[in-house]
Chains A and B, each alone.
Chain A
Amino acid sequence: MSTYAQKKGFGATLWDFLTTVDHKKIAILYLIAGGFFFLIGGIEAVFIRIQLAVPNNDFVSAGAFNEIITMHGTTMIFLAAMPLVFAFMNAVMPLQIGARDVAFPYVNALGFWLFFFGGIFLNLSWFLGGAPDAGWTSYASLAIHSKGHGVDFYVLGLQISGLGTLIGGINFLVTIINMRAPGMTYMRMPLFTWTTFVTSALILFAFPPLTVGLVLMMFDRLFGANFFEVAQGGNTVIWEHLFWIFGHPEVYILILPAFGIFSEIFAMFSRKRLFGYSSMVFATVLIGFLGFMVWAHHMFTTGLGPVANAIFAVATMAIGVPTGIKIFNWLFTMWGGSVKFTTPMHYAFAFIPTFVMGGVTGIMLASAAADYQYHDTYFVVAHFHYVIVGGVVLALLAGTHLYWPKMFGTMLNETMGKITFWTFFIGFHMTFFIQHFLGLWGMPRRVFTYLPGQGFETSNMISSIGAAFMSVGVIVLLINIIVTSVKNVRVGNDPWGDGRTLEWSIPSPPPFYNFKQLPLVRGLDAYWIEKMEGKKEMTPAEPLGDIHMPNSSFLPFTTSLGLFIAAFGAMYHVDDKGWALPVLFIGLLVTFGSMLLRSVKDDHGFHIHKEELMNEDDNKGVKA
């Protein structure tokens, strides 16, 4: 064994994860934290469906229902979907471009800890006087009048985790631009890397408006400002604009990586090159660009006027074109391929009709005139669950099965994987298909109950039973994870046998320096090209030499912890608590102190020497 991979005790492992700057370990942290918040958000969803299963139900009170729907949406978008997407980006993207780590390993760790403390802060609201209750969009007209600290938790928690996402986006952009292996031109990058690239650009430009919106809301609620106080000259529509200038790109931030994962799966398990690669790249960039042009379609009923509504309606419908390009390319990738129905391929196959249904209702909603009828009904709820669950969550589940062996070195059980797929897939359509009709029949969203005799009973009951099926699917996945982790059957470089891209050319999990020698990339699907020529591994692009690696650091943790502490000070400052301001300053001191320490303390990293790398080979008894 090498000197680097020794068995460690629990304390040492914990310290390792608290201080790690390795993108593969950060990916695991994102997966665990995101998975945890996904379960919390899922439990909230089940509570919603229990409450709505029968009319006049009193399973939860009206106030608690508002908190649950707000936290369900906020948790699922910001604390589950985003970090899970980040988990796969971190785990796979650097390997796909043949890099030894991301451009800023330290910033990568900082991004994770900011997200984590923000998420914990937001969820502590349940125990500290009540969760936010103004909806996940937290419209200012509602939010500034919300009693208690719920909305303050929302504002401060999202601010902290949003900063983490922003720096993560910058990090991925620089990584892809500067750190590609020799021969890895832009037009040879795997589709998942391309979608990570475009997504990161969206993050960079979409998150600052959210930051500003949250700052304004924080100033209003905690420091006496008047941005949204109409009597003082304020205007609540500013929040709507800022929120959706962020919020619409956000849905593409979620769905583009999902497209990336599915593109990899279609090519892999059709054993065929992705159809129309360059048009896929083009469509991805175009969707990213158009994503910034359509935010006001969330505000058709705000009263922006017919001209604005018409422009945003047309721009919205235009996004259907590049998305359609993608759908056909995926279909043509399977056409004539030798399709293998693995668990990930099940998800990919099911994704196409599901997502197309979400797209069709999207075009319906984009018609501004018709939207007045759909607005704030269950039709909207059905639409966005079809695109987010039918697109993003299916991709995340597919990605979990696909990349599990690369991340952990062992395969998830395929039979249980297919059980998860079928229960989740059937449950999903049962839950949400009927909600289209509930909406068209007039059931408004965000209501905590409804009366009998309005024709909503049967449909709501069907919807709630569907939610139970989805829960079973998730539970089977958890059992699958436990069982396979206990068995822990180790797998080789390319456990699916059909790997096309660089991540499948190295061990599972990869050594901490990823590539002993950077690979020479000779075309799209670099590893597949080598395999087709009868080779077992990539041709190296450089002689064996010293490898430069970054040092671990505890400072990302303390930097984030400081903001977590400061947030409590800022929040309780309005209650005239004597300790609030000191806590605020101590927290900020910890954060800025950590940043200063990072700045003045030189961090040159360390080198793995050539001899050590050669020894490792000798010990394994393979090639010199």
Chain B
Amino acid sequence: MHAEEKLTYETWPAEPEKSTLEAKNKFLGFWLFLGGETVLFASLFATYLSLKDKVPNTSQPLAKDLFELPLTFVATMLLLTSSLTSVYAIYHMKNFAFKKMMVWLGLTALLGFGFLGLEVYEFNHYVHLGHKFTSSAFGSAFYTLVGFHGAHVAFGLAWCLSLMFRNAKRGLNLYNAPKFYVFSLYWHFIDVVWVFIFTVVYLMGMVG
């Protein structure tokens, strides 16, 4: 099988993300890239934990003064659901159902935008409470860790939309199927990182 072949529902392979050599390479290379990204976020988490609540004077808010569960809970739900919708998208990709895949991808992007909107609102809120990027080491570490994740979400959205627009008219083939698949891997990865941020930054921030 090669990338330019015209395929139908009957001839579509069971694992379109791994059916050509290029696709196999992309699949493996992206998993390895995510391994590197894991170390990147681990370094950011370590930095955050060592600088948590390190502020120059007592007038500045600490983690327990800032975080509120309702807002983060909604954000978490939006992102977790978007991971689920991207699973449905890939399910339809594997079944050669292009239109259904696009619908679920669109939903994924919408949920992603919702999450990003909440994050912008949240950051703006904290800045007004005196918790700024430049005001303390705590502030720098918080906005760097959570902001890096937010930037990953923003990049993922741009990626998702450009894939959707690029392939809107031509449907699925073995050249673009791995691209959709790799995007979904990325999206799950951002989701997993968020689970850790929710636990380490928000939950641990509120209890201690």
Q: A232-B56, A233-B55, A604-B175 are known contacts. Are A226 and B137 too (CB-CB below 8 A)?
A: yes
A contact face: mostly helix, strand, loop, or mixed: helix
Q: How far is the CA of A224 from the CA of B137 in the complex (A)?
A: 10
Q: Does A212 contact B (CB under 8 A)?
A: yes
Q: A207-B36, A226-B139, A232-B136 are known contacts. Are A174 and B56 too (CB-CB below 8 A)?
A: no
Chain B residues whose C-beta falls within 8 Å of the C-beta of A212 in the assembled complex = 40, 43-44, 47
Q: Does A62 contact B (CB under 8 A)?
A: no
Q: How far is the CA of A397 from the CA of B39 in the complex (A)?
A: 34
* Stretch from B6-14, B26-34, B72-80 contacting the other chain: B26-34
Are B137 and A215 in contact (CB-based, < 8 A)? no
Are B43 and A242 in contact (CB-based, < 8 A)? yes
Are A231 and B44 in contact (CB-based, < 8 A)? no
Q: Does A204 contact B (CB under 8 A)?
A: yes
**In angstroms, how far is the closest chain A Cβ from the Cβ of B116?**
17
Q: Does B195 contact A (CB under 8 A)?
A: no
Q: How far is the CA of A611 from the CA of B134 in the complex (A)?
A: 66
- Among B28, B39, B144, point to the contact of A205 (Cβ < 8 A): B39
Q: Does A173 contact B (CB under 8 A)?
A: yes
Are B136 and A226 in contact (CB-based, < 8 A)? yes
Are A208 and B137 in contact (CB-based, < 8 A)? no
Q: A171-B29, A208-B43 are known contacts. Are A166 and B36 too (CB-CB below 8 A)?
A: yes
Q: A171-B29, A226-B140, A602-B175 are known contacts. Are A178 and B21 too (CB-CB below 8 A)?
A: yes
Chain A residues whose C-beta falls within 8 Å of the C-beta of B138 in the assembled complex = 233
Chain B residues whose C-beta falls within 8 Å of the C-beta of A208 in the assembled complex = 36-37, 39-40, 43
- Among B25, B163, B179, point to the contact of A104 (Cβ < 8 A): B25
**In angstroms, how far is the closest chain B Cβ from the Cβ of A97?**
14
| Interface size classification for chain A | 35 or more
Chain B residues whose C-beta falls within 8 Å of the C-beta of A596 in the assembled complex = 162
Are B140 and A227 in contact (CB-based, < 8 A)? yes
**In angstroms, how far is the closest chain A Cβ from the Cβ of B39?**
4
**In angstroms, how far is the closest chain A Cβ from the Cβ of B171?**
14
Are A227 and B36 in contact (CB-based, < 8 A)? no
Q: Does B100 contact A (CB under 8 A)?
A: no
Are A604 and B3 in contact (CB-based, < 8 A)? yes
Q: A233-B138, A600-B166 are known contacts. Are A174 and B36 too (CB-CB below 8 A)?
A: no
Chain A residues whose C-beta falls within 8 Å of the C-beta of B162 in the assembled complex = 596, 599-600
Are A233 and B175 in contact (CB-based, < 8 A)? no
- Among A170, A213, A231, point to the contact of B29 (Cβ < 8 A): A170
**In angstroms, how far is the closest chain A Cβ from the Cβ of B99?**
21
Q: How far is the CA of A468 from the CA of B32 in the complex (A)?
A: 45
Give a binary string over A219-252; 1 marks a CB under 8 Å from any B CB, 0 the rest.
1100111110101111100100110010000000
Q: Does A209 contact B (CB under 8 A)?
A: yes
The 6 closest A-B pairs by CB, nearest first: A233-B54, A233-B137, A225-B140, A208-B40, A212-B43, A224-B134
